[in-house]
Amino acid sequence: MDLIIGAGISGISYAAATKNDYLIIEQSDSIGGYCKTINQDGFTWDYSGHFFHFQRPEIKDYVMKNLKEEDMLKVFKHTQIYYKGLLVDYPFQMNIHQLEKEEFIDCLYDLFSKKEDTCVSSFKAMLYAKFGKSIAEKFLIPYNEKLYAVDLDKLDVDAMGRFFPYADKEQIVLNFRNAKDQSYNSFFLYPKKGAFQIVESIASRLEKDKISLNEKLVSVDRERKIARTDKREIHYDNLISTIPFPDLLEKSGVEYDKSVYSWNKVLVFNLGFDKKGNQKRNNWIYFPDKNLSFYRVGFYDNIIGQNRMSLYVEIGFNKESQGNVDMSCLLDRVLSDLKKVGIVNDEKLVSYCSVMMNPAYVHITKSSEIDKVSKMNLLKSSDIYSIGRYGAWKYCSLEDNIYDAQMLADRL
| pLDDT exceeds 80 at position 202 | yes
Q: Quick one: 253 and 373 in the same domain?
A: yes
Choose one of 357, 388, 403: the last residue of a domain: 357
Cβ atoms of 150 and 363 closer than 8 Å: yes
Indicate whether 287 belongs to any domain: yes
With a pLDDT cut of 90, the percent of the chain lying above it is 84
179 in a structural domain: no
**CB neighbours of residue 156 within 10 Å:** 18
Same domain for 104 and 251?
no
Q: Which of 311, 329, 357 is the last residue of a domain?
A: 357
Return the CATH number at 67: 3.40.50.720
Distance CA 42, CA 295 (A): 26
Question: Is residue 180 over pLDDT 70?
Answer: no
101 near 129, Cβ under 8 Å? no
Do 143 and 279 have their domain in common? no
229 and 165 co-located in one domain: no
Biggest CA-to-CA distance, the chain: 68
Is the same domain home to 389 and 336? no
In a domain, 47, yes or no: yes
What b/e sequence results for 105-143 when a residue is b if at least 16 CB atoms lie within 10 Å of its CB, and e otherwise?
ebbbebbeebeeeeeeebbbbbbbbbbbbbbbbbbbbbb
CATH number for the domain including 98? Answer: 1.10.3110
Is 182's pLDDT higher than 60?
Answer: no
Question: Do 251 and 385 share a structural domain?
Answer: yes
- Residues 6 or more apart whose Cβ sits within 8 Å of residue 407: none
Query: Does residue 340 lie in a domain region?
Result: yes
Please tell me the distance from the alpha carbon of residue 177 to that of residue 93, in angstroms, as a whole number.
Answer: 14
Q: How confident is the model at residue 53 (pLDDT cuts 50, 70, 90)?
A: confident
pLDDT (0 to 100) of residue 185: 66
- Average pLDDT across the chain, whole number: 94
Q: Beta 22-25 vs 310-318: how paired, if at all?
A: unpaired
Q: Do 242 and 225 fall within a single domain?
A: yes
**Do 341 and 406 lie in a common domain?**
no
Q: Output the domain CATH number for residue 320.
A: 3.90.660.20
Give the total number of structural domains in the chain. Answer: 3
Confidence band, pLDDT 50/70/90 cuts, at residue 164? confident
Q: In terms of residue numbers, what domain contains 163?
A: 79-174
Predicted TM-score (pTM) of the model is 0.94
Residue finishing a domain among 357, 380, 400: 357
Task: Assess whether pLDDT exceeds 60 at residue 192.
Answer: yes
Across 329-334, average pLDDT:
96
pLDDT at 50 over 60: yes
Sheet order of strands, 217-221 included: 217-221, 226-229, 233-235
Going by their DSSP bridges, the two strands 310-318 and 226-229 should be labelled as unpaired
- Same structural domain, 166 and 92: yes
Higher-confidence residue: 68 or 199?
199
Residue 386 belongs to a domain: yes
Report yes or no on 188 lying in a domain: no
Same domain, 207 and 167: no
The identity of residue 30, as a single letter, is S
Closest Cα partner for 379 from 251, 207, 257? 251
Taking 60 as the threshold, does the pLDDT of residue 322 lie above it?
no
If asked whether residues 284 and 300 sit together in one domain, one would say: yes
- How would residue 162 be classed by pLDDT, with cut points 50, 70 and 90? confident
Give the CA distances from residue 358 to residues 34, 39, 164, 292, in Å, rounded to whole numbers and listed in that order: 10, 22, 23, 21
Q: Is the peptide bond before 142 cis (omega within 30 degrees of 0)?
A: no
Residue 181 lies in a domain: no
User: Is 182 inside any structural domain?
Assistant: no
Q: How sure is the predictor about 323, in pLDDT bands with cuts at 50, 70 and 90?
A: low
Angle at 125 between CA 121 and CA 128, to 5 degrees: 155
Mean pLDDT across 271-292: 97
- Mean predicted confidence (pLDDT) in 59-78: 90
What lies within 8 Å, CB to CB, of 280 at 6+ separation is 302
Give the CA distances from residue 42 to residues 193, 274, 351, 352, 370, in Å, rounded to whole numbers and listed in that order.
Answer: 11, 11, 9, 11, 47
SS3 285: strand
Mean pLDDT computed over 261-282: 96
- 11-36 pLDDT, tens digit per residue, is 999 999 999 999 999 999 999 999 99
**Cα–Cα nearest to 127, from 163, 88, 167:** 167
Categorize the per-residue pLDDT at 181 as very low, low, confident or very high, splitting at 50, 70 and 90: low
pLDDT bucket at 54, cuts 50 / 70 / 90 = confident
Per-residue pLDDT tens digits for 367-406: 999 999 999 999 999 999 999 999 999 999 999 999 999 9
Give the mean model confidence (pLDDT) for residues 230-244.
98
State whether 309 and 393 are in the same domain. no
**Chain mean position to CA 404:** 16
Average pLDDT of the residues in 267-280: 97
**263 compared with 180, residue with greater pLDDT:** 263
Question: At 184, is the pLDDT very low, low, confident or very high (cuts 50, 70, 90)?
Answer: low
